[in-house]
Amino acid sequence: MAKATYIEHNGTVRSVEVDDGISLMEAALANLIPGIDGDCGGAAACATCHVHVAEEWLDKLPAMEPLEHSMLDMAAGSDHRSRLACQLKMCTKLDGIVVRTPLGQH
């Protein structure tokens, strides 16, 4: 179990406890976090789970697969902090992670 904090573009902050192995997309859906839809079910094929990861967490994340990279290239508001929440599985190493939903996802 690890804590994840989601910050909406309007500043609303929500922190939830997430079991190990559950993705940040799945945790967002389970906790009704706005702005993360997960339309493709976690297949890295829709980018509706696009988040900006807080700078201090970027070097703790798993490497990006080519499919995630190509989806983020097409996602609105994508930058160096961008990841697909469905590709980020929670673990103790990520306890306390903070992600923001980009403007336009709500």
Return the residue of 24, 47, 53, 98 that touches ligand FES, per CB under 6 A.
47
- Report which of 25, 33, 22, 24 is spatially closest to residue 4, judged by C-alpha positions: 24
CA dihedral 106, 83, 2, 17 (to 10 degrees): 10
What's the CA gap between 24 and 63, in Å, rounded? 16
Q: Which stretch binds ligand FES (CB under 6 A): 6-14, 41-49, 57-65, 98-106?
A: 41-49
Q: Does 64 bind ligand FES (CB under 6 A)?
A: no
Return the residue of 39, 56, 65, 73 that touches ligand FES, per CB under 6 A.
39
Q: Does 42 bind ligand FES (CB under 6 A)?
A: yes
Cβ-based burial of 97 (10 A; exposed 0-12, middle 13-18, buried ≥19)? buried
Q: Does 46 bind ligand FES (CB under 6 A)?
A: yes
Q: Does 101 bind ligand FES (CB under 6 A)?
A: no
DSSP conformational letter for 95:
T
Closest approach of ligand FES to the CB of residue 31, in Å = 15
Closest approach of ligand FES to the CB of residue 61, in Å = 15
